[in-house]
A and B are shown apart, each in its own frame.
Chain A
Amino acid sequence: MTKEILIVTELWNGSFRKISLEALSEGKRLATQLGASLTAVVLGASVEDQAKTLAAFGADTILMADDPGLATFRACEYTNVVAGIIGDRAPGIVLFGATRRGRELSARVAARLSAGLAVECAGFTLEENRLVATRAMYGGKVIATVDIDGDIQMASIRPNVFEVAKVPGNGKLERLSVDPGKSNVTVLEEKIEVSTKAELTEADYIVSGGRGMEGEDFSVLEELAAVLGGAVGASRNAVDLGWRPQSDQVGQTGKVVSPKLYIACGISGAMQHVAGMSTSDIIVGINNDPDALIFRVSDYCIVDDLFEVVPAITAALKA
């Protein structure tokens, strides 16, 4: 029976990503049901101050792999360390956040350990002390309930789905001496722009634009997103037309998002787009075509010119 649940956390820009706290909180819930302990794994360089804070989110043990070689994310080195820790401790359940890094790291670790991995899970239950996961497939058109084979069940969680709960844990800090080992890929150069903007999949508020934007000027959406403290997304059409970067794309071939509020502006509501946002708490559709498919999934529908409505929403929010 599972005695330990292990959460692989992710530091970004000096602090933990919200998804790591979501994973810890869900891990705590599962650990309580199983009578298991909850362990957080932190990788980085000089990260003791941050690592300590995880005690407030239910971590009984905080394993700190603190090494200059882990200062920035390197897929091979991180895989060596995480697979090593999991191999040594043999936890019953391992959770990751399904961020870009989390997806790559979890897949590499699963490959290394020949473990089963369910990606981007949106819910977990326990049956006979084993994890059963639900996850979206076909971009959210269907929800699958899956069993994960093996002694080490690995899963990653979808951002913005699990609640963060502050539950104190023992928070025993253990410093691991780790060897990041060798990499078969050499990094020649890195260009990173630290953005203050909310990452699309983690944003609570998303204002998205489609073909109805009529061009690359998304400033009305950016202003509304700024007032809400959210992010700007785009439909596949808007990305394919070169109006927005591909990283903004919401939908089956882009990002799947579940914010508190999703405002779709000038988006027709094609199936592949809806698949990527239909789990949002509240959806607002703004389109001058009363027959737009987006209205079928919208909680609030406004049939009007988005270039008049959106600035008026921004103004009303500021008032």
Chain B
Amino acid sequence: MDIIVLMKQVPDTEAPVEIAEQGNSLDAEDLKWAINPYDEFALEEALLIKENRDDVTVTVVTVGPDRVAEAIRVAYAMGVDNAIHINDEYDDETFAAADAWTTAKIIAKVLEETPYDLIIAGNRGVDDDNYQVPAFVSGMLDIPMITLVNSQKIEGSEIVCEQAIDGGTATVKASLPALITANKGLNEPRYPAFRAIMKAKKKAVDEREPEEIGLDAKTLGTTGAKVKIRTLEFPPERAEGMHIQGASPVDKAKELVRLLREEANVI
């Protein structure tokens, strides 16, 4: 059984970001990067399936520049078998402006020639927050998609999942091949040891440029993107707040309620 995990490297959520000089992307210079947290759940789930069967190959597929090699090493150290990296570093100007559509297009093209029974993706990327790549990939491949999966079980040629829906959960079933997206809480991702990550440097990565998988660069990046970033700005900074003084917690609470009523007019 072939499991594909879609992985994205994103800026570390705890780290501040800077906007690049040209104004429509982040300054990658001092940025700290990490595997998208939702993709860690996807990786872990694939590895858990692998541990419970003896016929599973886990392949991670990722799109991005050279730096993505770090994320691949972590994935290898966690236990994946293969990695496919579509590297767009060679043309940073074009590919800095990739969007969900162009990314999905690359992934779908890779999967035309890579066997898969199950694709696991994170429910969302915490960088662009587009919530689109899984839907686009499953649409392009014309396979079922089950979102926000809390637990799954493969039964023969079918997968049964419990997924989060509005106000509760649903148990649903689809035929393989299918794509599922990982909800937070699907599992507890393992943290590989530093040594394992260093050792993973030796692992081979199937690394290719988009043209090498048969895509025309003009249909990707800035020209192919359907949502194009014009500018990035920092949100307006909030003004220095007021420290509420008072002799006791009760006094402070009363003063806060007065201010919320009379000054802020929110209650």
Contacts and interface: CB of A to CB of B under 8 A. Distances in A.
Interface of A: 12, 73, 75, 99-101, 103-104, 107-108, 110-112, 114-120, 132, 136-150, 184-195, 205, 228, 246-247, 249, 251-254, 256, 260-261, 270-272, 275, 278-279, 281-285, 295-305, 308-310, 312-313, 315-317
Contact of B256 (A103, A305, A313): A313
Contact of B135 (A108, A150, A303): A108
Interface string B75-94: 00000000000000000000
Interface string B9-24: 0010111110100001
15 contacts: A75-B145, A107-B135, A137-B232, A142-B26, A143-B234, A144-B229, A147-B227, A147-B228, A150-B226, A186-B172, A186-B173, A187-B171, A188-B172, A300-B244, A303-B243
Interface residues of B, number: 78
Interface in B134-179: 134-136, 138-140, 143-148, 160, 164-175
B165 A73 contact: yes
Contacts of B166: 12, 73, 99-101, 192
Contacts of B228: 146-147, 149
Interface of B: 11, 13-17, 19, 24, 26, 37-38, 100-101, 104, 126-132, 134-136, 138-140, 143-148, 160, 164-175, 183-185, 225-235, 238-239, 241-244, 249-250, 252-254, 256-257, 259-260, 264, 266-267
Contacts of B243: 295, 301-303
Given A190-B168, A272-B14, A299 B146 contact: no
B185 A246 contact: yes
Given A281-B266, A282-B264, 13 more contacts: A73-B166, A107-B134, A115-B226, A136-B129, A142-B235, A149-B226, A185-B145, A186-B173, A192-B167, A246-B183, A301-B241, A301-B244, A309-B252
A282 B260 contact: yes
A304 to B, nearest CB: 5
B37 to A, nearest CB: 5
A274 to B, nearest CB: 9
B232 A107 contact: no
A278 B241 CA distance: 13
Contacts of A270: 14
Contacts of B126: 138-139, 252-253
A189 B170 contact: yes
B266 A260 contact: yes
B234 A309 contact: no
The B contact surface, by secondary structure, is mixed
A118 B227 contact: yes
Contacts of B254: 312, 316
Contact of A116 (B16, B227, B230, B244): B227
A191 B168 contact: yes
B174 A190 contact: no
A299 B257 contact: no
B13 A190 contact: no
B244 A193 contact: no
B238 A116 contact: no
A116 B169 contact: no
Contacts of A117: 100, 130, 132, 226-227
Max chain B Cβ within 10 angstroms of own Cβ: one of A73, A138, A270: A138
Contacts of B174: 184-186
Contacts of A228: 267
A99 B135 CA distance: 16
B167 A119 contact: no
Contacts of A304: 249, 252
Contact of A147 (B15, B230, B259, B267): B230
Nearest to A156: B131
Given A137-B128, A142-B234, A270-B14, A184 B226 contact: no
Contacts of B250: 308, 312, 315
Contact of A107 (B24, B131, B175, B234): B131
A127 B136 CA distance: 28
Nearest to B159: A185
B264 A299 contact: yes
A188 B160 contact: yes
Contacts of B225: 149
Contacts of A305: 249
Given A147-B228, A253-B13, A191 B170 contact: yes
A5 B101 CA distance: 23
A74 to B, nearest CB: 10
Contacts of B184: 246, 249, 253-254
A261 B167 contact: no
